[in-house]
Chain A
Amino acid sequence: MKKLPVNCPSCESPLVASQLSCSECETVISGSYSLPVLLQLSKEDQDFIFEFILTSGSLKKMAAKMEKSYPTVRNKLDDILEKINDLKTN
């Protein structure tokens, strides 16, 4: 799967979706749609959140699955929360 670019490669500002199209009938919609906060996170962070949901939010289960210690996994979650809060305020 192609990686979704979230920042401008030229000036590093956040990108917005300016065109959406239907893969069936080829209808094209133009506009300026901001990307959801979760999509603006890195692939690694998105995978972490996905795993977090799959383990019903249990950090202990995640730690066992990822073969990491509990504080390492908790720190990763705290770092993602910090990034989400930054993205929400910017």
Chain B
Amino acid sequence: MKTLLFKPFEKYSENKLLIIGIIATIIGTYFAYIFNLRFNGALDVHIVKETSIKQSIIDNLINLISLITLFYIAGKYINTKTRLIDIISTVVVSRIPYYTLPLLNFNNILSDATNGMMKFMGPESVHHMPVSHIIILIAFTIISILMVIWYITLLYNGFKIATNAKEKSSTVLFIVALITAEILSLILIYNFN
């Protein structure tokens, strides 16, 4: 079970992982569209008033291309035997926990809670803020943090197996690649989507 949840790259073939990852990406993109969430950065997720299917697809394409490009460059630097297919399957499978987040905005529950809270933001009315809205947003924050940790753990484990990385310098390179992918995806989404 631990292998399946955190180290699927150790056991399952790249083809199996790739198919599962692509199906999850399609479903995640659709969820983002119908539940009004945007993956507007490799590590970002934001609740929006409205989103289009085109916007959801471009967001995810930019995120995937940024992550795959940066991790492939870092992987080749660490080990010349690193294969592109292992990096692609790592990235698409690692994002599966993230794709569950739009479900939390079912029936616009998060959007309503956010808008509801905004109405009570003044110094006088802040004490009248509905507790249910606060609980909903705290729960979303906690679940989001857990999903980010799961997502990055999967990325790191997959990257380690794809590159046979052992040195501490490889971990530093992984962090640099992840942060660079985040910045690159933010810039690309901001300019093109």
Contact = CB atoms under 8 A, between A and B. Distances in A.
B11 A70 contact: no
A71 B86 contact: yes
B13 A63 contact: yes
Contacts of A74: 81, 164
B162 interface: yes
A67 B11 contact: yes
B9 interface: yes
A72 B11 contact: yes
A44 to B, nearest CB: 16
Contacts of B162: 71
Interface string B2-21: 00000001111110010000
Contacts of B9: 69, 71-72
A68 interface: yes
Chain B, interface size: which category?
10 to 19
Overall SS of chain B's interface: helix
Interface string B73-109: 0000000010100100000000000000000000000
Contacts of A70: 13-14, 86
A69 B161 contact: yes
Interface string A73-88: 0110011000000000
A3 B13 CA distance: 33
Contacts of B81: 74, 78
A68 B16 CA distance: 12
B81 to A, nearest CB: 7
Contact of A72 (B17, B83, B161): B161
Contacts of A64: 13
A75 B13 contact: no
A68 B14 contact: no
A49 B172 CA distance: 33
A68 B162 CA distance: 13
B11 A68 contact: yes
Contacts of A71: 9, 14, 83, 86, 161-162, 164
24 contacts: A64-B13, A67-B11, A68-B10, A68-B11, A69-B9, A69-B10, A69-B11, A69-B13, A69-B17, A69-B161, A70-B14, A71-B9, A71-B83, A71-B86, A71-B161, A71-B162, A71-B164, A72-B9, A72-B11, A72-B161, A74-B81, A75-B161, A78-B81, A79-B164
Given A63-B13, A71-B86, 5 more contacts: A68-B11, A69-B161, A70-B13, A72-B10, A75-B164
Interface of A: 63-64, 67-72, 74-75, 78-79
Interface of B: 9-14, 17, 81, 83, 86, 161-162, 164
